Amino acid sequence: KEADTTQTKEEEDKEADEDQNVVDKTSVEGKVEVTVNTPGESMQEMRYDVDLIKANSGQQVKLTLNNPAEAEAMKHNFVIVKKADAKSVAKAGLEAGKEQGYLPEDSDKIYAASELVDPGRQTTFEFSLDEAGKYEFICTYPGHYPLMKGKIVVD
C-alpha cells in the first residue's frame, strides 16, 4: 500500500521553515545564477549546502555544482526530479553504473542533471522548469541519495 504523501498547508509551511539554506530567485527577472557546494569528506558529513531553491516557472537557472572534497568517494551530481520519483531514479542511477555517470539513460523522470563531479572539481549547467510545483534535487552516486537531497519550488 502506498503511503499518503499529501501535506497540509500548515505542514508545508513548517517544512519550509526548517530549510536553513534557501536560495530565493523569484524576485529576479531573467537568467539567475546559483552555486551549490558539496562539503564533507565522509558519508556522515556529505550534503548540499543549499536546502531549498525557489525560482519562477520558465526561469533560466545557471547552476554551478562545486565539489571541494578531497576523498575519492565524494563524487557528486545534481539531479532534478519530482519528489515521488526520487527513490526510483536513485535506484535506476545505481543500476546504470559508473559508465553512465550513475544516471539512467532516457529517463522521463529526470528534468535536468549535471555530470558527475570528481573531488576538487566543479561543473556548470543550465535548466528551466516550466511547470510550477515542487521538485527535489538528489545525488545519484551510490549511497549518497539518503543524505544528499534538497527541494526546488517553482512558482
Among 72, 15, 22, smallest CA distance to 48 is for 22
Per-residue pLDDT of the chain (155 residues; tens, 9 = 90+): 444 444 444 555 445 545 678 888 777 778 889 999 999 999 999 999 999 999 999 999 999 999 999 999 999 999 999 999 999 999 999 999 999 999 998 789 999 999 999 999 999 999 999 999 999 999 999 999 999 999 999 99
CATH code of the region 19-154: 2.60.40.420
E strand intervals along 1-155: 22-24, 32-37, 52-55, 61-67, 79-81, 110-113, 121-127, 133-138, 149-154
Reduced to 3 states (helix: H, G, I; strand: E, B; else coil), residue 21 is: coil
